[in-house]
Amino acid sequence: MTASNDRRAVRRPRLSGLLRILLAVAILTPTVAAQAPIPVAHGSDLSDAIAEQRRLNKLIVDQKKQLAHLKTMQASLNGEIASTAQDLAGVRTSLDEAQAQVADLKLKVADVQATYDNLAQQDATLLDQLQQLQARQDAKQAELTNRQSVLAGRIVAAYEADRTPLLQRLLTAHSLTDIISDVSYFMDLGEADKALAEQIKRDQATLSQLQESVATTSAATHDAILQIAAQKKQLDTEVAQLNAANSQLASLQKQLQRQLATQKGTEAKLEKNKVELAAAIRSNGQATDSLGKRIDKLVAEQGSSGKIPSQYSGTLAWPMGGVITQDFGCTGVLSEPRVGNCAHFHQGIDIAAPCLTQIRAAGAGVVVFAGYNPYDAPPRAWLVIIAHSTSMVTWYAHMTGKAPPGIYVGAHVTAGQLVGTENTTGHSSGCHLHWAVRVNGAFVNPRLFL
């Protein structure tokens, strides 16, 4: 047998009958000077790390859901802000409706801000917990390194001790107490080493779990930081757009107040001058009806000859941007005629803007009238009437008394084509467009066709 084999045999000696008896005595007899084992951590470290990872995973999943919800909220909000800005830039709603839109947008922006703030707080919590995880990982790494060092030292010590065979040490012992002490030492050393090795395995599993938690949380936190920053940038843009819309609304409200003040002043003068008031009522009532009947007859004749289509399948667009100073329906404006149960009824929508603002066709059709209303009491209103079908026509009144190129009776116009400019011809309280829609011989609310 070689020297190497001798050493292995010494390290793992086969116990003789005498040695087995001595070991049995050592097991049955209380130890005299046993070395105390190194304290080990409980197995709950790993289960705690797993539970912490599950909790963090849930938090990350919840955060991703909130981020997705925030993106949806902001996409909807962005569309609504753009729509409101477009409404304020042109005429899509009345100012009351625009004011309600802006108020609703403020609430939605506040909801988005609250969601963002909550996400930012969650991200801060994740960052804090990530730091705690990293600290636990470092502590567990140090603990594992220490235990590995202790176990390595014991293995070296056992190797050095095994150079003197256990049997030789037992046979040269001076007393039974020395024999028992030596055997107890070797047995205790083996159990302690085994327990320490098992603890190292648990430490490695716990450390691996902590490393996974740190990596997962770090990646999720980094991704969340980028996404939240992008949402913050979008939120800042939306807040700026909302502030711009609010300023534009305030400007339009001032403009409307000026227009209404002018209108009220004109109405007050008309109320004092009964003759002029009666003329205005006739202009807005009898003159309109008389011209309307004439146009209806003309459209029917041209429709039978195929010059005007029998149906209009499209929708209408606002003919001009500006401020709605009077909507369709019952009104308190004294110069408007009685219709049904309303003492004063407005048969179209009045849109005010700076004088000479361009007015465009609300839809494709054929020009059936362009000029001053022949039934009007002086001063007469200049208007253009477009037939979109044999059943529907649109009126554009109070315009500048001169038709632009391409606008004449019988001309085909496209949607958005210039038909005139805003002015104050006729019985007008200021620069505005009276836009009306007449269907089957009766004026109806233009909003029904937008």
Please list, in sequence order, all residues whose beta carbon lies within 8 angstroms of the beta carbon of residue 56, skipping any fewer than 6 positions away: 126, 129, 133, 213, 216, 217
- pLDDT of res. 18: 42
Rounded mean pLDDT of 184-213? 78
| Cα–Cα distance measured from residue 331 to residue 333, given in angstroms and rounded to the nearest whole number | 5
The pLDDT-based confidence of 159 (bands split at 50, 70, 90) is low
More confident residue, 155 or 446: 446
pLDDT of amino acid 349: 95
How many C-beta atoms surround the C-beta of residue 121 within 10 A? 10
pLDDT (tens digit, 9 = 90+) per residue, 346-402? 999 999 887 888 999 999 999 999 999 999 888 899 999 999 999 999 999 999 999
pLDDT given at position 170: 54
Average pLDDT, integer, range 110-118: 92
| Beta strands 392-399; 412-413: pairing state | unpaired
Q: For the ranges 21-30, 140-149, 425-434, which has the lowest average pLDDT? A: 21-30
pLDDT tens profile 115-126:
999 988 988 888
pLDDT at 11 > cutoff 50: no
Per domain, the residue ranges of the chain are: 3-255, 275-449
Q: How many CB atoms lie within 10 A of CB 333?
A: 19
Q: Is the pLDDT of residue 153 over 90?
A: no
Class for the domain spanning 275-449? mainly beta
Q: Give the pLDDT confidence score for residue 176 in this predicted structure.
A: 60
CA 190 to chain centroid, in Å, comes to 64
Judge whether 237 and 245 are in contact, CB under 8 Å. Answer: no
Q: Give CA 264 to chain center in angstroms.
A: 44
| Lowest-confidence region among 83-97, 176-190, 206-220, 280-294 | 176-190
* pLDDT at res. 178: 65
**Does 16 have pLDDT greater than 60?**
no
* Residue 192, C-beta contacts closer than 8 angstroms, at least 6 positions apart: 35, 37, 38, 154
- Per-residue pLDDT, averaged over 195-200, amounts to 81
- Percentage of the chain beyond pLDDT 90 is 34
Q: Is pLDDT at 22 greater than 50 in this prediction?
A: no
Q: Mean pLDDT over residues 188-207, rounded? A: 78
Q: What does the pLDDT read at residue 160? A: 64
pLDDT surpassing 70 at residue 205: yes
Name the residue with higher pLDDT: 182 or 209. 209
